[in-house]
Chain A
Amino acid sequence: MSGRIRFLLTVAVVAAIAMGFPVTGPARAAWPERPVTLLVGFAPGGTMDLSARALARATEKVLGKPVVVENKTGGTGTVALAALLAQKADGYTLCATPSSVLIRVSQMQRVPFKPLASFRPILGFTTPQLGIVVKQDAPWKSLAELVAYAKKHPGGVKYATTGVGSTTHAAVEELAAREKVRMIHIPYKGSIEALTALLGGHVDFASVTSEFIPSVKGGQARLLVTMGEKRSPKFPRVPTMKEAGYDFTNDAVYAVVAPAGLPPEIAKKIEEAFARAVRDREFLEALDRIDLVPVYYNSKAFNEFLQAQWKIINRHLTSAGLIRQAATPPE
């Protein structure tokens, strides 16, 4: 092979490789010049992941630039938030997170960020449906039957949730505190993992987000209770936690946050883009498929929501004796 052909081949290879990678450059006000990464702290296939992906697609249409979802699981969603802070505050890395990670998880665990100061909220966009499911062949037809069994067998009932301090965990803690039952908590990284453990018979029940829909509709699992203000339109016969006699409604809102140092002019562009994206028809259809209710909090409203939630949940957790004080200082 002659030198020239070899040279040309090399050039061709370099060019082919170079085209495979996104072109990156320093952040300028002309956001977005390159793909935006949206971090997600829970496993693919979960409602957080699915709704973030739907939102990313809708935002792409607005921006004309790819919005790439990247799952960084672990620590009940805190790993992704920590990962966000490791990136430049240039608007090219954002994080989709349930508000509960900033509120509940941060009070139950010492997390490596200041939940109310390290981030700039962009928007809150949906609220998940939560529920308690058991296997189809389990003997319990209602939550009351399950609770009665758990009372008779202290420490004999195992349950899966989406992580320590998550809203799904909090619901069971609430129930356990009220009924004074002792059950064993097995934390998983997301609802799909928790459901798999349930279907495999490794836990007795699972407190999870609406990923249970295919399993319940497919006749493998039975839904005992949901945790919304009202009954889910998809499961009108299933009572809510409130109807079952427990003072618990899901208070988590799925949101997008940026690092706190985001330049205001970029923040404005991002907020406008997402505000348009949440009106996208395909986005709304995607939410409906997984039983998520669309809501909209702008940056300011979501910030106020977080401040208020912090106090409410703190009072709740301390009065229930679950914590003495918040494990992480908020600011």
Chain B
Amino acid sequence: MDILNGLLYGFSIATQPGHLALVFAGCLLGTLVGVLPGLGPVAAISILLPLTFHLPPAGAIIMLAGIYYGVMYGGSTTSILVNVPGETASVVTCLDGYQMARQGRAGAALGIAAFGSFIAGTVGIVGLQLIAGPLSSVALKFGPPEYFAIILMGFTFVTYLAPGSSLKAGIMAVLGLILSGVGLDPITSEQRMTFGVLNLFEGIGVAPLAMGLFGVAEVLNRLEQASFGRVLQVKIRSLFPDRKDWLSARWAILRGTLIGFFLGILPGGGPVLSTFISYGVEKRIAKEPERFGRGAIEGVAAPEAANNAAASTSFIPLFTLGIPPNVVLAVLFGAFLVHGIQPGPLLIRDHPDIFWGVVGSMYIGNVMLLVLNLPLIPLWVQVLRIPDRILYPLILLLCVVGAYSINNSVFDIGVMVVFGVVGFLLKRGSYEAAPLILAFVLGPMLEVNLRRSLLISGGDFSIFFTRPIALGAMIVCLFLLALSFLRAKKGN
């Protein structure tokens, strides 16, 4: 089936009334999940998976995919209006989005996020449809040394590009790395930093950690503020960014799209990493980097574009190789299998209805999200405009229930509370929690790929400098490190 016929076939599947309703349901749920802090796509898809058991496979996958990319739209709303990331892929959107909202430009921020998401998401689907096969064979060429070098590059980017002191960001990344080492050794099962506590054998959960550092810490932070006011009161005049906004954001959207596009395909990349990197790139190449963190529209447009492009293209390795490139798609992968479909090289041939149906539904879903969400933003705003005395206990309640429900574990609530206090103290010392979380998530991947690389090379570190892709990533790392030393010297 050629691409045009495939696409028409896909639309014919996606526009069946039942499937249209499922696209709509997926997008709406995804947006709500994105808006609500503390509840991310992984938890949401896991909770909703049992509901799809009675649907035909194409419908089930169409709806669950809708949740995934819907989240990418919804997350920005909370970031911009409350300065709490609705979910992890919107962490960096807080930095400039919230500042824009404080300057009375919430409408422009929300609008550019939505339009940027739409453009990037659509470009991502075109890519998914056209180059699924050829591009994933490139990703397959990445072995342990390449993974290690690229993750290390991610670490370096995150510390170099973090707002404020690079040293502090580096400390946070190292702390995240150390925390990710808690639990059983991933290869030999030796205990590490568990102090014999059974609950720590499987390591610290990323959800309680993130909810603590972002949710609880934020609530504590607000309590400290003298005025017990409401969540940012904004008047949203127009959701359509004006000409000037477009002029300053258009290239940012394009760059964000490209970065998200490629990081989405890369196993271990995905939406979250792409937002950090695209934000960093924008800040790097800006004429006045000091605007970032103070309401630069590029700082909203680029990461929001990046996470949507990445959400679309992350389906490429799943559909063509059967490899879920990130944790959300790993859950979605489970959904395929529950429905008796083996994602892999034969998926497009054996199940064209799934592949083309999902592609078609993603085009429709992106239009739905744009058309529905812009008018619905006032509704989400109302959800978020609940007074502090109700909203903050509510966020706490959500975090507690969320942390508990993942493993039915009271211990996880304890982890969340501890890191809530830690996060609060870190914030007072102007240490950012974002590099910590990223390092925490990437830490285990960094470790196993380092160890596998050294097994391959027989303990020889030159393996990271003799393979072109790894070498390239290493050079970028060293370059960034050198730059940040120079910058620190200049600062003194």
**From B142, B188, B405, contact of A164 by CB (8 A):** B188
Q: Is B74 an interface residue (CB 8 A)?
A: no
**From B199, B334, B342, B458, contact of A214 by CB (8 A):** B342
| Residue in B closest to A82 when the chains form the complex, CB atoms | B201
Interface size bucket, A side?
Answer: 35 or more
CB distance from A320 to the nearest CB of B (A): 19
- Bound CA span A171–B37, Å: 48
CB of B394 within 8 A of CB of A14, answer: yes
Contacts of B49 in A (CB 8 A): 68
CB of A192 within 8 A of CB of B201, answer: no
Given contacts A45-B337, A202-B144, contact A68 B46 (CB under 8 A): yes
**From A49, A72, A202, A218, contact of B143 by CB (8 A):** A202
CB of B386 within 8 A of CB of A72, answer: no
| Residue in A closest to B49 when the chains form the complex, CB atoms | A68
CB distance from B120 to the nearest CB of A (A): 27
Q: Is A62 an interface residue (CB 8 A)?
A: no
| Residue in A closest to B267 when the chains form the complex, CB atoms | A196
- Bound CA span A50–B53, Å: 15
| Residue in B closest to A45 when the chains form the complex, CB atoms | B333
1/0 per position for B405-428, CB-CB distance to A under 8 A? 101110100000000000000000
CB of A189 within 8 A of CB of B344, answer: no
CB of B47 within 8 A of CB of A20, answer: yes
CB of A202 within 8 A of CB of B456, answer: yes
Given contacts A79-B202, A86-B198, A86-B411, contact A49 B337 (CB under 8 A): yes
Interface residues of A in 1-47 (CB under 8 A from B): 1, 6, 9-10, 13-14, 16-18, 20-22, 24, 35, 37, 43-45
- Bound CA span A189–B340, Å: 22
Interface residues of A in 56-100 (CB under 8 A from B): 57, 60, 66, 68-72, 74-76, 78-80, 82-83, 85-87, 92-93
- Bound CA span A70–B43, Å: 11
From B184, B343, B456, name the one whose CB has the most chain A CB atoms within 10 angstroms: B184
| Residue in B closest to A72 when the chains form the complex, CB atoms | B202
CB of B345 within 8 A of CB of A1, answer: no
Contacts of A110 in B (CB 8 A): 189-190
Given contacts A75-B186, A86-B202, contact A50 B337 (CB under 8 A): yes
CB of B184 within 8 A of CB of A86, answer: no
CB of A74 within 8 A of CB of B344, answer: no
Q: Is B183 an interface residue (CB 8 A)?
A: yes
Q: Is B387 an interface residue (CB 8 A)?
A: yes
| Residue in B closest to A56 when the chains form the complex, CB atoms | B338
Given contacts A6-B387, A78-B184, A112-B191, contact A186 B452 (CB under 8 A): yes
CB distance from B387 to the nearest CB of A (A): 7
Which of B81-89, B318-326, B430-438 is the interface stretch? B318-326
Q: Is A155 an interface residue (CB 8 A)?
A: yes
- Bound CA span A9–B448, Å: 48
Q: Is A111 an interface residue (CB 8 A)?
A: yes
CB of A158 within 8 A of CB of B201, answer: no
Q: Is B475 an interface residue (CB 8 A)?
A: no
CB distance from B189 to the nearest CB of A (A): 4
Given contacts A87-B409, A186-B456, contact A57 B53 (CB under 8 A): yes
Given contacts A75-B186, A78-B184, A112-B191, contact A44 B408 (CB under 8 A): no
From A16, A82, A111, A217, name the one whose CB has the most chain B CB atoms within 10 angstroms: A82
1/0 per position for A189-233, CB-CB distance to B under 8 A? 100100011011110000000000011011010000000000000
| Residue in A closest to B185 when the chains form the complex, CB atoms | A75
- Bound CA span A35–B51, Å: 13
Q: Is A286 an interface residue (CB 8 A)?
A: yes
Q: Is B244 an interface residue (CB 8 A)?
A: no
CB of A184 within 8 A of CB of B324, answer: no
Q: Is B130 an interface residue (CB 8 A)?
A: no
**From A53, A111, A185, contact of B337 by CB (8 A):** A53
CB of B189 within 8 A of CB of A53, answer: no
Q: Is B372 an interface residue (CB 8 A)?
A: no
Contacts of B50 in A (CB 8 A): 35, 60, 66, 68
Q: Is B187 an interface residue (CB 8 A)?
A: yes
Q: Is A281 an interface residue (CB 8 A)?
A: no
**From B398, B402, B408, contact of A24 by CB (8 A):** B408
Q: Is B382 an interface residue (CB 8 A)?
A: yes
- Bound CA span A215–B142, Å: 18
Number of residues in B with C-beta < 8 Å to the partner? 68
From A37, A86, A87, A220, name the one whose CB has the most chain B CB atoms within 10 angstroms: A86
Q: Is B247 an interface residue (CB 8 A)?
A: no
- Bound CA span A241–B152, Å: 41
- Bound CA span A74–B192, Å: 13
- Bound CA span A1–B382, Å: 9
- Bound CA span A86–B407, Å: 10
CB of B330 within 8 A of CB of A86, answer: no
CB of B141 within 8 A of CB of A201, answer: yes
- Bound CA span A14–B397, Å: 9
CB of A75 within 8 A of CB of B189, answer: yes
Contacts of B194 in A (CB 8 A): 112
- Bound CA span A185–B183, Å: 23
CB distance from A184 to the nearest CB of B (A): 6
- Bound CA span A200–B53, Å: 34
| Residue in B closest to A35 when the chains form the complex, CB atoms | B50
Contacts of B448 in A (CB 8 A): 189
- Bound CA span A44–B318, Å: 12
CB of B346 within 8 A of CB of A217, answer: yes
CB of B140 within 8 A of CB of A192, answer: no
Q: Is B177 an interface residue (CB 8 A)?
A: no
Contacts of B345 in A (CB 8 A): 214-215, 218, 220
CB of A192 within 8 A of CB of B322, answer: yes
Contacts of B183 in A (CB 8 A): 74, 79
Given contacts A44-B330, A200-B141, contact A83 B324 (CB under 8 A): no
**From B46, B189, B444, contact of A109 by CB (8 A):** B189
Contacts of B330 in A (CB 8 A): 43-44, 71
Contacts of A6 in B (CB 8 A): 386-387
Q: Is B39 an interface residue (CB 8 A)?
A: yes
| Residue in B closest to A202 when the chains form the complex, CB atoms | B143
CB of A184 within 8 A of CB of B382, answer: no
CB distance from B445 to the nearest CB of A (A): 11
Q: Is B383 an interface residue (CB 8 A)?
A: yes
Sample of 12 further A-B pairs with CB below 8 A, known A79-B189, A86-B409: A6-B386, A13-B394, A44-B333, A75-B185, A83-B201, A85-B198, A85-B201, A87-B409, A105-B189, A184-B455, A196-B140, A200-B143
Interface residues of A (CB under 8 A from B): 1, 6, 9-10, 13-14, 16-18, 20-22, 24, 35, 37, 43-45, 49-50, 53, 57, 60, 66, 68-72, 74-76, 78-80, 82-83, 85-87, 92-93, 105, 109-112, 155, 158, 163-164, 184-189, 192, 196-197, 199-202, 214-215, 217-218, 220, 286, 289
* 22 cross-chain CB contacts under 8 A: A20-B39, A21-B402, A35-B50, A45-B322, A57-B338, A71-B330, A72-B202, A74-B202, A75-B184, A75-B185, A79-B202, A109-B189, A111-B189, A184-B456, A187-B187, A187-B452, A196-B140, A201-B143, A215-B344, A218-B344, A218-B346, A289-B342
Instruction: Please provide the 7 A-B residue pairs with the shortest distance between their CB atoms, ordered closest to farther.
Output: A82-B201, A202-B143, A75-B189, A214-B344, A83-B202, A75-B184, A218-B345
